[in-house]
Structure 1
Amino acid sequence: MPKAPLPHPRHEDTLPLPTVSEEAARARDAALIAPLPSAEPEEDEERGGEPDAVLPQAPQSRPGRQDSRTARNNVIRPGDLICGSCGQGNAPARRFCARCGFELREAQVARTPWWRRLLRRRRGPRVVELGTGSGLQDDPAPAPGGRLAAFWVRLKAVLGIVFCLSAMLYVSYAPFRSMVNDRASEVRRTATGFIESQYSPVRPAKVTGPSAKARGTENLIDLNTASYWSVPYTAKDAQGKGKTVLIVEFDRLVNLNQLIVTPGAGDEFTQHGRPRQMILTFTNEKQSRVELQDSAEPQKFSLNDGLATRKVTIEFTDVYPSAKGEDVAVAELEFFSLLS
């Protein structure tokens, strides 16, 4: 029995397949494949990673840097830290400048001017008893001793101004300068007289040594500068000691603190040699070297080693020569002890 024929499909139930060319299919398949890395990096690694040479280019202008710092404040209060970069005053607690950010570790501290410190009124802590006062701050009570401190500050300011004016007047006005110099000399003489009055003269019992006729050693202690002692002067001997030696003796132990020497022969000062250097040896074997000036005025010398002594040996080691002869002359020797 023959088979019945299949029903023919309807047109609206099936869709025709699109027709694609072979080249389009290959292009579609190639787009779905991931691209392989290029071989250029491998070539760069083989060359050692050196970049290609680049020709010099023209410099490019950079945009100007905008200053973000705050405005500078020229009012610097005492105690502020002055920035070493921009000069800005900063609070003492800051570590970096508020204007430029510079570190303030070594910043200079602003100080109060000297004239303001001088005129500043110093006040102590305010003390108010409980239960007293109106509670108003208009009339604060002065601290204990505040009045005296304020008076002392003002007094120092006045004295400083007077001193400055006096110094200017001393430099510019000759009569005022002469008056000040005279007063200073008078005060100096008064002080010198007071100091000298504290010394007591010590009279030697005798003086022995070489002497010439009518120019004996007694003239050294007669308190008369018109008379003098004079002998020929000889240089040192082979042992290095001077041959012209005086021995001054006292009748008791004394403390010698000062010596006054009047060199020369009074009115005949230039006709005789004058002592230039003397060495004093005391009983305690201590020595003092005396250097004299070529002057007829009395010359004072301090004796630091003449304590508890009874005899003083005076050795003339050098003299100022005269034109008429080789001798040495001394008008007076005076010893003093400091009063206790």
Structure 2
Amino acid sequence: MNQIAVVLDRLKQKISHGSTFIQRSYNSIGHATFHLPKPVRSETLDAFEAEFKQPLPSEYQTFLELHDGAKLFMLGDEGLVLYPLEEVIEKTIEAKEDGLIDEDYDHYWIIGEVNEGYLLIHTNHAKTEDTPYMYWKYHEGSTEDTDAIGQNFGTFLERSIIAQGDMYWEFNIFDVREDDYYVEDETEHEQAGVPIASEERVRIEIEYPIYRRGGFIVSFYTYENGKAQLRSESNGFDNFKQIHRYLVGTLDEPGYYYSEIVVFQKEAPLWESEDASGEQIARRVEHPQTQIMQYDGYQAFVNDLPRPLPGWEKA
């Protein structure tokens, strides 16, 4: 696994465990939201290179091949925003037309935003892997006045995550001999009392069919005051592949960060089959099988999906 994938995987584990309460500069505090979309399409990469006659820096392209943009550590509308590549193309073209990218300083792509400013890639510096190419500028003005961040994309991403979406490259600007540090008493993004997630715990029950051609039933239970409450129930699953797809998609709904996922499987106490004449017969299962698997969050669940009970492996 490459380093950018490792960094993002650790972030997803953190989110999955409910660690979304953050504090940034000037007392900006609250429960952050995150969005990591699907990978970039290959035709969009081709369109970018055709438009700008230059390939993307390898680290930045590696990120896009994992997620086409991102919104990280968002408090309201503020946080670290990395545009989808199609938006990078559009905003860079518009910026050149509007003079935001100065004609004498037109060696930039606009790839995102953070703290009232744009994130830029210096296209000349990006031609070599050992030259820092990440820059930042305020929304106002043009690229005649930019600040060098001093890193390439991979290091920028990792340090931005460590800094919870804050402008870490400005941390050393404050000088006690010259500046008066302050924090605001109140901020518009303060979110006192908001829970970490809509659901912190979930119990999933998989009920096996009485006969092999029957369908599985999957039930979701969430907890209120420590008691399990039925949230939803679905049936008609013919095999475990369908169940896995359903569970992965349901648990990955935006806004839900589970700290504990318990999967309980139970075999039916009766077993129906056909006799020689084709008549349905039923017999009691002496020892119905059960299985309990517990996971510390969504990523742990995805890494080790629940296995079917013995004898049902092909189901």
When normalised by structure 2's length, the TM-score is 0.16
Bigger strand fraction: 2
Structure with greater contact order relative to length (CA < 8 Å, sep ≥ 6): 2
Q: Decide which structure has the larger Cα Rg and report it.
A: 1
What TM-score do the two structures reach when normalised by structure 1?
0.15
